[in-house]
Amino acid sequence: MLQLILALAMVATSITPARAQLAAGEGRPALPPLPSPVIFGFDQDFPPFSFERDGTPVGFDIELFQACLEGRDIRLSLKPMRWEQIQLELSAGTIHATAGMAKTPKRELLYDFSDQPTARLEVRLYTRNANRVAAVEQLRGKAVSVERGTIYLRLLEDFGGVIVRSYASQREALQALAGNQVDAFAGADKTASYIMRRLPLEGISPVGAPLAVMPMHFAVSKETRALKEMLDQGFRRVLESGKYAELYRKWFIPDLAPGEVSRLVEAATAARVYAYAPYSRQPRGAAALGQSGTVYTAGSVEHAEPSLGAGATRVAVLKAISNGETDIKAVAEVDHTGRVVTPAGEVVDLLMEFGVETQAVTEPERGRYVSRALMELMPYTRPRTPGREMPDIPWLERGEQP
C-alpha cells in the first residue's frame, strides 16, 4: 500500500501546468502571454475605417479594436502604416493585429481572423445624378475614374467594357467625376461617402448592384492567438451592449437633415391616397429617400388573401430598387391617423439586403420625429451579419487590398 501511495504522489507532482488545465476540463493548454505593448498596425489612409487626424489615429476600426479590448490589462500601441507593409509585418509577427482585411484560404495560412466580420466593404459605381443610369451595365463604353493600384481598379478591369482612368487617390478620382472629366467613379462605398461629405461633393450617388461585397475582419498574428480569443469575446460583448451600433452610426451613418425628415413624412402622408385598403379601411403611405435625392412613394396594397398584400414601405423600397436606386438613405411610413409608424421586422430585413446604413423615421411622441438606424431597430444577432456572402475573388489570394 505504501508503494502505491508513493507512486500516486510522484504522478501528481509530475503534472505540468498545461496538463493540469487539461485535467481540469479546459480542453487545451494555456496560450502564451501577450506581448507588451500589443501593436495594432492600421492603414494610415483608409477613412473612415482608419486614418490620422492632426497626428492622432482615428476611425471605426481603431475605436472598435479598443472597445473589444476594453477592461483588459493590455497596453496598446497604434502604428500608422501602408497596407502592403501591414501584411508583411503581421505575417512576420512584428505587429500583432490589424483590421479591414478580407479573409481568404491563403491568408488564413498566414494570419488568424476574427470569427465575425467587423464590417463589409462594397465596391460601387457612382455617377452624377444629372446623368444617372439605372444599371451598371449601362456604363459600358463610358469613362470611369478609379484609384490606381487598388482592388477597385482590378474589379473594374474584370467588369470590362469601360474606359479606365486611374488617379493617385480616391479623392482625386471622385473630384474628376464631380468636375465632369469622367462619366462614373468606382471605389469603396464608405470611403467614397466620407470623402463626399468632407469636401463636400454633391449630386453624386451609387448606381445598381455592387461590383463586389467583402466582409472584413480583424487579422491577428499567428504568434498571438490569445489576442484573437480576446477580440472574439470582446466583439460579442460590444455587439450585445449596443456599442457596435453606436460606433457604426458615428462613422458611417450621418444624421438626416431636418428638411429630409419633414420631406419624407409629408411625402408618406400624401401617398396614402394611393393605398388600396378595402378590407381594413386603414390606408398607409410610405416614402423612401434614395442617395440620389429622389423620393419614391407608395401606398399599402391589401388582398383578400393577406399574404399576397404588401405594406407601403415595402412597395416604396421595391419601387426604388427597380429604378436602380439600391442605396436607400431613409424611409418613413404614415398610418391612417397620420402617425409615423416604425417599420416591421420583415421590412427591416428587406432593407438590410441593400445595406444597414438606411435610417427609419420614427415618432416616439406626437410630432417629435427621431431617425433610427436599422441596426438599432434589429441589432446584429444573425450569423450573416454584419457581412454577407459574396462570390470568391481568386486574385485576392495574391495579396491585393483589402
CATH number at residue 355: 3.40.140.10
State whether 110 and 143 are in the same domain. no
Domain-embedded: residue 125: yes
Q: Give pairs for 171-179: CB < 8 Å, separation 24+.
A: 171/195, 171/199, 172/147, 173/145, 173/146, 173/147, 174/126, 174/145, 174/199, 174/201, 174/204, 175/199, 175/201, 176/145, 177/126, 177/127, 177/128, 177/145, 177/204, 178/128, 178/203, 178/204
State whether 223 and 285 are in the same domain. no
The amino acid sitting at 109 is L
pLDDT at residue 258, as a whole number: 87
pLDDT at residue 4, as a whole number: 38
State whether 110 and 231 are in the same domain. yes
Q: Please state whether beta strands 143-147 and 163-167 pair in parallel, antiparallel, or not at all (unpaired).
A: parallel
Domain-embedded: residue 391: no
pLDDT at residue 29, as a whole number: 59
The count of structural domains within the chain is 4
Domain-embedded: residue 386: no
Domain-embedded: residue 48: yes
User: What is the pLDDT tens value at each position of the chain, 402 positions in all?
Assistant: 434 333 434 333 333 333 334 333 455 556 678 999 999 999 999 999 999 999 999 999 999 999 999 999 999 999 999 999 999 999 999 999 999 999 989 999 999 999 999 999 999 999 999 999 988 999 999 999 999 988 899 899 899 999 999 999 999 999 999 999 999 999 999 999 999 999 999 999 999 889 999 899 999 999 999 999 999 999 999 999 999 999 999 999 999 988 999 999 999 999 999 999 999 999 999 999 999 999 999 999 999 999 999 999 999 999 999 998 999 999 999 999 999 999 998 999 999 988 889 999 999 999 999 999 998 887 643 433 444 444 445 445 444 556
The amino acid sitting at 398 is R
State whether 202 and 141 are in the same domain. yes
State whether 138 and 211 are in the same domain. yes
The amino acid sitting at 256 is L
Q: How far apart are the first and last CA of the chain?
A: 67
Domain-embedded: residue 390: no
State whether 111 and 147 are in the same domain. no
Q: Which of 234, 252, 270 is the last residue before a domain boundary?
A: 252
State whether 111 and 220 are in the same domain. yes
pLDDT at residue 31, as a whole number: 66
State whether 203 and 128 are in the same domain. yes
Domain-embedded: residue 393: no
Query: How does DSSP classify residue 34?
Result: P
State whether 296 and 370 are in the same domain. yes
Domain-embedded: residue 233: yes
The amino acid sitting at 163 is I
> Rounded to two decimals, what is the model's pTM?
0.83
State whether 195 and 226 are in the same domain. no
Domain-embedded: residue 319: yes
**283 is in which domain, residue-wise?**
258-377
Closest to 67 (Cα-Cα) out of 250, 255, 224, 213: 250
pLDDT at residue 375, as a whole number: 84
State whether 95 and 234 are in the same domain. yes
State whether 339 and 265 are in the same domain. yes
- The backbone torsions φ and ψ at residue 303, rounded to the nearest 5 degrees and listed phi first, read -145, 150
pLDDT at residue 266, as a whole number: 98
pLDDT at residue 395, as a whole number: 46
